Amino acid sequence: MRIEVINTGSELLLGKVVNTHVAFLGEELFELGLRLQRQVTIPDGDIIRDVVQDSFSRSDVVFITGGLGPTSDDITRDVVADLLGRELIVDQDVLVGLEKYFSSRGISKSRLNDKQAEVPEGAEVLHNPHGTAPGLYIPAAEKGSEATPHVFLLPGPPRELRPMYQSEVRPRLASLLSRVGGVPIVQNFRIYGVGESSLADAIEPELLKDHSNLEIGYCARLGEVDLRLIGAAEDVVSASAIVRARYSDDIVSESEESLPEVLVRLLRRNEEIVSFAESCTGGLIAHTLTQASGASAVFGSGFITYANEAKMQLVGVKSLTLNDHGAVSAQVAKEMAEGCLQVSGADHALAVTGIAGPDGGSEEKPVGTVYLAIASRGLETFVKKHFHPSDRISFQQRITRLGLDLLRRRIQGLLG
């Protein structure tokens, strides 16, 4: 189903208002197995006619936001009615609703607001309890030798558009999908520690061999990739089994659940506490975990040990270890984690030490070198070296994700 969005409003192009409609509609449509094919933002005025007409020629569904108000620049309703060859008629129910809206607020309705009760012939009114502009749905139809798309006219303010979508638009879209073969199944995998290209090279030949109609999508971020499978239920279920078999240890979640949310859930389930000893990330690991609701039940304490003195005083790293191996070493990371575990009394302690750059590197330990260590009650401390040379912020973000994923693997018994 080809879907386009046209956002009208000069304020969107003047930088006065941030356009949040695309993100909202894109996410909501994706839950139905649909994707936006095109989006355009235009100012108020006559340009809307050309843009809408162009969109009608190639779309199955068109969303148009804004331009439903009572003033002279609100012409969306008029333009669409004219392009579809439909007469505008006054809807008495809408008119009565406008009277009630204003009177309940002790305001006299302006005669200009009567314009908002004009509805293209054959359109369905989408009720708007949060404002004066009702939305409109105009079903697809034949116009001469051509077919016109399904058209949804929605108000511009997000506080009006979003509830209208949920209550009025989404049910209609679901009904449309049922007529054209049902709603596609969407399966999401959040995978850590695997690059996007490596993931695609490994799975696409096998997935597409027996699932020719399967749609595969990726969204890569530092240290993680979201893999999306979209298609008929049988294809998605079969393909998902292949992904799980190949990347069982690397799958963080099979939903939109973030890694911090997963960790909080796992730690709460086990009634366990985690603490952190951070050097090169400067507290970012602790900050990231506490972005998840419920973190207060599982996060014990955090130590930011940038200086060698802090490593010794706060988490008990030995001066001899620092002298013999340097602050960025497996030995120091191990002592940081074990010292943090002892001092904090937590069940798990994650430690990190590295060189974020751009200065501070050497031939032996270049910028981007980092060691992660995790110590847990009754288990052997695990240490791993990584090398991720990049800008300072990207380095810290990547290492934070690697560290939290190391914690996940330990909790799930994947490290021993």
pLDDT tens-digit map of 216-228: 989 998 889 999 9
Q: Give the residue among 2, 388, 9 at the shortest CA–CA distance from 161.
A: 9
Residue 72 to residue 90: CA distance in whole angstroms? 18
Higher pLDDT, 265 or 45: 265
Q: Decide whether 3-179 matches 185-253 in CATH topology.
A: no
pLDDT of 180 strictly over 80: no
- pLDDT tens-digit map of 53-102: 999 999 999 999 999 988 888 899 999 999 999 999 999 999 998 888 88
Strands annotated E in 305-409: 348-354, 369-376, 382-387
Q: What is the pLDDT of residue 211?
A: 86
Count other C-beta atoms under 10 Å from residue 235's C-beta: 20
Sign of the alpha-carbon torsion through 281, 283, 289, 293? negative
Q: What is the pLDDT of residue 338?
A: 98
Task: Please calculate the CA angle 63-66-68 and round it to the nearest 5 degrees.
Answer: 105
Q: In what order do the strands lie in the sheet with 185-192?
A: 215-221, 224-231, 185-192, 251-253
The residues pairing with 150 across neighbouring beta strands, listed in sequence order, are 61
Residue showing tokens 């293209």: 120
Q: What is the pLDDT of residue 15?
A: 87
Least confident residue range of 54-68, 202-216, 329-343: 202-216
Residue 221 to residue 401: CA distance in whole angstroms? 10
**Is pTM, for the whole model, over 0.75?**
no
CATH class of 259-411: alpha beta
Residue pair 349/273 in contact by the 8 Å Cβ criterion: no
Least confident residue range of 68-82, 178-192, 245-259: 178-192
Mean pLDDT of the chain: 93
User: What tokens appear for 410 in the block?
Assistant: 């330990």
Torsion from C-alpha of 254, 259, 262, 267, nearest 10 degrees: 150
Q: How far is CA 415 from CA 231, 261, 331, 404, in A?
A: 35, 20, 18, 13
Under the banding of pLDDT at 50, 70 and 90, the label for residue 46 is: confident
Q: What is the pLDDT of residue 143?
A: 67
Residue 252 to residue 234: CA distance in whole angstroms? 23
pLDDT of 51 strictly over 80: yes
Residue type, 140: A
Under the banding of pLDDT at 50, 70 and 90, the label for residue 19 is: very high
Q: How far is CA 119 from CA 82, 100, 135, 148, in A?
A: 12, 19, 10, 17
pLDDT of 181 strictly over 70: no
Residue pair 248/192 in contact by the 8 Å Cβ criterion: no
Sign of the alpha-carbon torsion through 171, 172, 174, 175? positive
User: What tokens appear for 43 in the block?
Assistant: 């100012």
Give 3-179's CATH code, choosing from 3.40.640.10, 3.40.980.10, 3.20.20.140, 3.40.50.970. Answer: 3.40.980.10
Give me Rg for the CA atoms of the chain.
28
Under the banding of pLDDT at 50, 70 and 90, the label for residue 183 is: low
Residue type, 354: G
Mean pLDDT of 374-403: 96
User: What tokens appear for 58 in the block?
Assistant: 């190639």
Q: Confirm or reject CATH 3.40.50.970 for domain 185-253, answering yes or no.
A: no
Mean pLDDT of 1-9: 93
Domain locations in the chain as residue ranges: 3-179, 185-253, 259-411
